[in-house]
Amino acid sequence: MTVRELKEELDLMVGIPFNLQRLHFLDQGILMDDAILKFYDVIPGAVISLCIWHYDGWTELVLAAVEGDPSKLSCLGISEDTFYRTANSQHFKGEQWKQWTTHRAFVALYITAHRGHVDAVKYLLELGADCLGKSPLGRTPLHVVAAMGRTDCIRPLLEHGASIHDRDAKGDSPVTIARRLNRMHFERKMFLLYWMIKSGTKDPDDLTVKEAPKKPSPESVSKKILALSP
């Protein structure tokens, strides 16, 4: 396994986009993406430390998202009207500023959804965070929700347009991820809520297939023909 492949798995398991991850092992410094773990003498049972890149205020945002506190997130550059600035973002204006805040709001949504912080997820969605946005690996917040089986976070994401069919760079959808991780209960609930929202119904019983009409017997058909005959 390469370091990048490990990061891609950690992306699902810890809910932090792989491009923000910084892995360390003993005194080897930062593990480079293209290297294999064996190159760093990583053995079974060894401990690899995961840190967040410090640049552009990402560490503060990730920690606030992991905690799931909307009041802290609101002060960390997730909306266009924020007063929060970094050494990098203070020069942004117009569309560049919008893209910067939009990206931060998406990352916050990605992490809070993974951790199951429903209140924070709803807050971010109402603020305009894009649940259709994708990480560098092509994953949406619903992908990491499916990986962790966070059933409480399904509805708010689906109600804001999330799709159970979006595929990541590996071709996996939230459905296939839930199936691969044996989260059958989550998969069924996700399907049910998806079709409830699509059909506009609030009662799951309305989605059940009604009994098909009985096929008329040959005798009844014959009687109808005779009745119509001159």
5, pLDDT greater than 60: yes
pLDDT surpasses 60 at 67:
yes
**Number of domains comprising the chain:** 1
For residue 199, is it within any domain? yes
CA distance 205 to 158: 19
Residue 87 in domain: no
**130 or 213: which leads in pLDDT:** 130
- DSSP lists the bridge partners of residue 50 as 23
Answer yes or no: is 145 within a domain. yes
109 domain residue, yes or no: no
Task: Please name which of 155, 131, 152 lies closest in space to residue 143, comparing C-alpha atoms.
Answer: 131
Mean pLDDT of 78-92: 93
Give the domain CATH number at 144. Answer: 1.25.40.20
- What pLDDT score was predicted for residue 102? 97
Is residue 151 scored above 80 in pLDDT?
Answer: yes
Least confident of 50-64, 109-123, 205-219: 205-219
Q: 198 is in which domain, residue-wise?
A: 132-206
| pLDDT mean over 141-155 | 95
Name residues whose C-beta falls within 8 Å of residue 89's C-beta, 6 or more positions apart in sequence: 56, 57, 77, 97, 100
Residue 127 domain-assigned?
A: no
Res. 209: pLDDT tops 70? no
What pLDDT band is residue 36 in, cutting at 50, 70 and 90? very high
Q: Is residue 197 part of a domain?
A: yes
Over residues 13-18, mean pLDDT: 94
> What kind and span of H or E run contains 24?
strand 21-24
**Residue 192 within a domain:** yes
User: Is there a domain that residue 55 lies in?
Assistant: no
Spatial distance between the Cα atoms of 119 and 106, rounded to a whole number of angstroms: 15
Q: How many Cα atoms within 13 Å fall on the side-chain side of residue 93?
A: 1
Per-residue confidence band for 29, with pLDDT thresholds at 50, 70 and 90: confident
Rounded CA-CA distance 59/20 in Å is: 9
pTM: 0.84
Residue-averaged pLDDT of the chain? 88
